[in-house]
Structure 1
Amino acid sequence: MDPETHSTSSGQAKTCQNCKQNFTIESEDFDFYKKIDVPPPTWCPECRLISRIIWRNEWILYRRKDNKTGEKIFSVYSDDAPVNVYHRDYWWSDKWDAIDYGRDYDWSKPFFEQVKDLIKEVPFPSGAVIEGVNSDYCQNYTRLKNCYMTFGSSYCEDCAYVIWGGYAKSSFDSHMIYGSELCYECLNINKCYRTFFSTDCEECQDVYFSKDCVGCSSCFGCIGLRNKRFNIFNKPYSKNGYFAEIEKIDIGSFKGKSLTQNQSLQKWLSWPHKFMHGRKNNNVLGEYIYNSKNVSNSWRISNSENCKYCQNLLTPTSRDCFDYTNWGQMAELVYNSLQCGENVYDVKFSVSSFPAVKSIYYSVFCASSSNLFACVGLRNKQYCILNKQYTKEEYEELVPRIIKH
């Protein structure tokens, strides 16, 4: 047995080959690794996460040169980044083909050195986006319309300064906002309408400065309420009494708003808090997990099942995934990958590959493709290695040889 490995009653203890800290591979984890045919990890979960997210620039936009036209464009890659960049519209067009960068596998060079060389040559899109309309100053999104400075979001319209939004409309200055409309300065809300300065609320309407309220309407400065109306700081009022009291509260000035926020915060701090943020779960361990089953050591997860060491899977659904960061949306059997989503299956060690990819490994910015190994920028392709086209038989014979090499 490896001297850095020893068995325990709950699994196998190992020493991370990167940070040298101890970590444990649980006994049930080995079943997953066997299912997807990969060896157990040699890095701890935290180092594996760092190795993924180091690829992603979440919300910084640079003004840099387009390597095709020479014009200045906005991009997540700075001018000194060691990659070529095309404007995303041109990159997604049929005016070029990354298959032209294909090369033979060089048995005299290390595998990752060859992948690195390919990454440096094949152009990247200026941003990781799918189908935006009038949303030029946004990044890492799917199908935005009329949005500004909105990041990591999907299917939003008429929004600005939103991070991690989904199906939101006409909302500003919010984070983790889903299926909501006409909301402002909110955090982690779902299916809300006209909700302001509030946190952790669901299915609420006309709610202000409130936290952890569900199914509430016309509430102000409240916490922990369920299906209530006309409450101010958790005190119930008649309908007329509620609106009479609201008229007395000044939130139209910065001073008045700041005072009200502080009063609400004091109310929140006096109230017992649940040990985690989550609802409608079964057997989960983590934070900000919703409508999920058998999820552990994960955070910001929605509508997922049998997932572990995952983050930011906010667009339904994800199943049977380990070490998967950002996206979801009909994702299954994704392992140690970043930002691969929308109808993806059997994806390993890959980055920014979407949509509709299947059985791709060690690949970057590939789309609508299957059976790729160490490819960059391919679209509508299959059975390629280092961007070179092979027959099905050639591909299936060569990939195991490369893995063993």
Structure 2
Amino acid sequence: MSKNKVNKVVLAYSGGLDTSVILKWLEDEYGCEVVTFTADVGQGEEVEPARAKAQAMGIKEIYIEDLREEFARDYVFPMFRANAIYEGEYLLGTSIARPLIAKRLVEIARETGADAISHGATGKGNDQVRFELGAYALMPDVKIIAPWREWDLLSREKLMNYAAEHGIDVDFAKAGKKSPYSMDANLLHISYEGDILEDPWNEPEEDMWRWTVSPEKAPDEPTYVELTYEKGDIVAIDGQAMSAAAVMEYLNKVGGENGVGRDDIVENRFVGMKSRGCYETPAGTIMLKAHRAMESLTLDREAAHLKDELMPRYAKMIYNGFWWAPERQALQALIDQTQEVVNGVVRVKLYKGNVIVAGRKSDTNSLFDEAIATFDDDEGAYDQKDAEGFIKLNALRLRVAARKAK
């Protein structure tokens, strides 16, 4: 990319050390105007201070947006209708926030007449892929500036020195005030990487965890929660109607109090390397268990099995950054169609890190027929003699093969 052809760039800006340095670096290296965009996706930290930091650096166009409800309603909830989980463990907390941020970056670029966007993702991680695939899908001709792939400021010390040389206020990032871990947080999860976690043999330190108590220290009495579903989405908790974001905030709180949602994973990044990360996902852990329980009662067997077969591909699409790809959108349409009947209530018991389904019911869509399923006299609802022919027909190919084998 020719640096002198960029007039204005929209930067995904947190106000932290990395993006503050990037802001100044963009102005110096590209000679362009910078627009900052700071999103609140439920990371639990104030985003307004980013405005003051951007203003102090002379930025005129500053976007600070509360995207929590949109994030929960239009990204997290659709993903959980699919029961998506990557490599059997990861609930895709970081992955699912990136398409929303990418969407707003390109929308703001259009609103402000910018011809480029920029982000602070490193050249080793998945996030650079997710941001950029999303941006290209929504604005095919957008220019993307990824400083970590261009500059030589590849250590914290170099970043601090650059900040000092250019008068960038980074008091908040000095020693003693920063976690040793690389963290990412939103309504769905908080992740931890780096420091002692870089050795997969090391057990995480207890004081690392921020959202959850240890299961050993969780209450000795279980907590029961009733989740009401409509078309695959939770719409009320314990009978009280809630928005999508409010549902997640509540479940994060009650789940964290009961030690629910910790995970320690070695995962395969899209860029090729393995990485070790630890995650706290209280709401997501509860939502996955409860949603499957609701589907077990209301969803046709073959529809449920088809969803299970497709889910790993769906999860991989999200992990790799293909939220806006036609194949993900096509799968979402299929998934959403199956959710028309996923209505009812699930009762879960939270106890010392466990999510236990304690009951499920659906007055309108339950496919469970006690008259058929009972071990007692079913009064003709199911003729057990029919099973003999069913078994023999399914055994036919096995018997033929067995005879040939002899």
TM-score w.r.t. the length of structure 1 is 0.19
TM-score w.r.t. the length of structure 2 is 0.19
User: Whose strand fraction is larger, Structure 1's or Structure 2's?
Assistant: 1
